[in-house]
Amino acid sequence: MPASRSRRRFVTTASGLCLMGAGLGTAGGAARQTATRAAIPQSFPSYDPELVREVVAASHGNLARVRELVERRPALARASLDWGFGDVESCLDGASHMGRRDIAELLLAHGARATIFTAAMSGQLDVVKACLAARPGLQRSHGPHSITLMAHARAGGADAEPVVRYLAALGDADLPPLPVVELSPSDRDGLVGRYIYGADPRDYVDIDVERDRLGINRPDAPARRGLVHIGQLMFHPAGAPSVRVAFARDGATRVRMTIADPEVFLTAFRKAG
């Protein structure tokens, strides 16, 4: 075979192989791109809600897991979760009211934003005093779940004793958002049940009792919320004192529940039987 024909065959074959390779590369790239898209959660660019829930929950007591999560993604140190009805809690909030100074220090080192509740738990009396000097009455504010400033200080143990004594002298750092009214066991148990508010199988709210306290829950809610009785079968969810959950008899056996914030946005009736 002449050398010129041999060279032409080589060039043609090589070109074909290069084109095949380019095609395979394009297909492989498309596959990789599809796989990458499939791995991106629907919440993107926000963090996956389940990841946020995990790190906030872990911040209440699991130092090893919090370290693993925030060292991989430092921004998680500032993550917060709405447990329901606007009861928002950050990782640092959870560590603070649980008295976990070790977790709080880890979160702060990775960019968490300190609050007066963190200062109270950590025994930082000068910080607490400075905050109250700048904002008189701040001792009456509440953290997530309506936890008082005094409760945060008590959670700090011996290191926070000076803060506890200081707040005790003020006299109003341990008050609930609203006066709590005792609820009889019979009234409490008489409200338990499933309340239906729509035609969809998921249109319901459960009212139950845990540790002698009523709570409210529904499908896919982040967590059950305790209910605080403020009188006449009217409640507010823990951490949401502006919300009203009210119960009333509608006839001999039917019980109606309304939820208002402040306007009524849900009316439900207890399922018979």
Q: Is the peptide bond before 2 cis (omega within 30 degrees of 0)?
A: no
**Distance between CA 87 and CA 149 in Å, rounded?**
16
Among residues 217, 226, 240, 223, which one has the least CA distance to residue 50? 223
Let me know if residue 60 belongs to a domain.
no
Q: Provide the domain count of the chain.
A: 1
Could you list the beta-strand ranges (E) of the chain: 80-82, 88-90, 193-196, 204-210, 213-217, 225-231, 234-237, 244-250, 254-260, 264-270
pLDDT of residue 264: 87
Query: 240 and 82 in contact (C-beta within 8 Å)?
Result: no
pLDDT of residue 27: 53
The number of angstroms, rounded, from the C-alpha of 153 to the middle of its chain's C-alpha atoms is: 22
Q: pTM for the whole thing?
A: 0.81
Q: Which residues are CB-neighbours of 194 under 8 A, at least 6 positions away?
A: 204, 205, 206, 207, 270, 271
- What CATH number is associated with residue 253? 2.40.128
In sequence order, the β-bridge partners of residue 204 are 196
In sequence order, the β-bridge partners of residue 231 are 234
Let me know if residue 208 belongs to a domain.
yes
Helices (H), 147-250: 149-155, 161-170, 185-189
pLDDT of residue 40: 80
Q: Which residues are CB-neighbours of 76 under 8 A, at least 6 positions away?
A: 47, 51, 52, 55, 69, 70, 91, 110
> Which residues of the chain are modeled with pLDDT < 50?
3-24
Strand, coil or helix: 20: helix
Let me know if residue 192 belongs to a domain.
yes
Per-residue pLDDT tens for 162-183? 999 999 999 999 999 999 999 9
The Cβ of residue 193 has, within 10 Å, a number of other Cβ atoms equal to 19
184 exposure class (CB count in 10 Å sphere: 0-12, 13-18, 19+): exposed
How does DSSP classify residue 110? T
Let me know if residue 233 belongs to a domain.
yes
Let me know if residue 6 belongs to a domain.
no
Q: Which residues are CB-neighbours of 228 under 8 A, at least 6 positions away?
A: 146, 176, 178, 180, 235, 236, 237, 238, 241
Let me know if residue 169 belongs to a domain.
no
Let me know if residue 204 belongs to a domain.
yes
pLDDT of residue 163: 98
Q: What is the chain's percent helix, strand, coil content, to nearest 5?
A: 45, 20, 35
pLDDT of residue 33: 56
The domain containing residue 220 runs over which residues? 185-270
Let me know if residue 242 belongs to a domain.
yes
